[in-house]
Chain A
Amino acid sequence: MTEEKVTSSLSILYDNIRWEEKALYEAAKKRDIKVNNINCKDLSIDLNNERESSPYLNKVIIQRCVSYFKSVHATAALEGLGAHIINSLRTATVCGNKLFAHMELQKAGVKTPNAFSAFSEESAIAALDNLGYPAVIKPTIGSWGRLIALLRDRDAANAVIEDREHMFPLYQVYYFEELVSRPPRDIRAIVIGDTVVAAIYRYSGPGEWKTNMALGGHAETCPVTNELEDICIKATKAMEGQIVGVDLMESREHGLIVHEINNTTEFRNTVRVTGVDIPGLMVDFASKIGK
């Protein structure tokens, strides 16, 4: 892919065409919007290009790379050269890191699970003693429930933390959350602009406490109440998000709390369950930016 090929009014940047990316492409075609699919793996970007003469200047690009690192770095390069990326580098950076996101949500007054951070084996155990057991350890960067573990007691914590000490340094940045008392489900709400367009309950799969659909859970429609809408919009604004998936839990103690915001959100299950034309709404939103 050469830089000159980015000439359409709307581009979709991908590294894999999943159901979501194909649905976005079809939605744009249906609306007679010129759409250019850009394979991130084919990009060769001159980072020293003058912004004013950059082929990416003012191009609207929906970032859909499934690889976190490719996504955030491609966003940095293209946004730096003048493209309007959905979502922005700031949103991608903060949403992609659970600790960063936690702090932004806290600052914005959005309720989150109680959490502790620590930077050594000893301080990690001290943090868990403060937080209490059971607790959840999460990598600050990671998806689909990978490397998230439930720590029922200090023995379990010692074992997991010892393993982490032998892994890539990122995994020695410890991030722990309380195990929130909640129904066996969480909520994924899709926000486009300043509207919650659809939401689903995601139920844990058999023998699984995590609710990630990638781990075999199932989904049902969740009504978009005023309370849900308010907290999702507040969380989205805190991240400067344009199109995001907000993940919430129904804490028995605190009500709705936000535990994650997804900047390249998957929405296949939400479309399947709710029937809402999310790809069409995303394309409508993106094409308005380009005008």
Chain B
Amino acid sequence: MVKCPECDAEIKIPSDSIEGEIVTCPDCGASYELLKAEEEFNIKPAQVVGEDWGQ
């Protein structure tokens, strides 16, 4: 569980999560990338879409 930096809501981190995965705040919808830190995860704002993304 981490706190959303935008709205302070709690974001649940699923147990099978891996570094680099994107999680979304259930309250405000902000997206974050998971960063591995010791045994837990930290989060940082995720890039949601890029001009050159996709296939």
Interface residues of A (CB under 8 A from B): 14, 16-18, 21-22, 25, 37, 39, 66-69, 141-144, 146, 214, 245, 262-266
Q: Is the CB of A68 within 8 A of B53?
A: yes
In order of increasing CB-CB distance, the 9 nearest A-B pairs are A143-B54, A144-B54, A262-B55, A17-B20, A68-B52, A17-B21, A66-B53, A69-B52, A67-B50
B46 interfacial by beta-carbon distance below 8 Å: yes
User: Which residues of A have CB within 8 Å of B21?
Assistant: 17, 22
B9 interfacial by beta-carbon distance below 8 Å: no
Q: Count of A-B contacts with CB under 8 A?
A: 50
Interface range for B = 10 to 19
Q: Is the CB of A143 within 8 A of B55?
A: yes
Closest to A263 in B: B55
Give B26-55 interface residues, CB cut-off 8 Å to A: 33, 46-47, 50-55
Give the dominant DSSP class at B's interface. loop
Interface residues of B (CB under 8 A from A): 18-22, 33, 46-47, 50-55
User: Which residues of B have CB within 8 Å of A264?
Assistant: 55
User: Which residues of A have CB within 8 Å of B55?
Assistant: 66, 143, 245, 262-266
Apart from A66-B53, A67-B53, A266-B55, what are 4 other A-B pairs with CB-CB below 8 Å? Answer: A21-B20, A142-B52, A143-B54, A245-B55
Q: What are 14 pairs between A and B in contact, CB < 8 Å?
A: A16-B22, A17-B19, A17-B21, A17-B22, A22-B21, A37-B18, A67-B52, A68-B53, A143-B52, A143-B54, A143-B55, A146-B54, A265-B55, A266-B55
Q: Is the CB of B20 within 8 A of A143?
A: no
Please measure, in the bound complex, the distance between the C-alpha atom of A205 and the C-alpha atom of B27, giving whole angstroms.
28
Closest to A214 in B: B54
Please measure, in the bound complex, the distance between the C-alpha atom of A265 and the C-alpha atom of B54, giving whole angstroms.
9
CB distance from A268 to the nearest CB of B (A): 12
Q: Which of A39, A143, A262 contacts B53 (CB 8 A)?
A: A143
Please measure, in the bound complex, the distance between the C-alpha atom of A142 and the C-alpha atom of B55, giving whole angstroms.
8
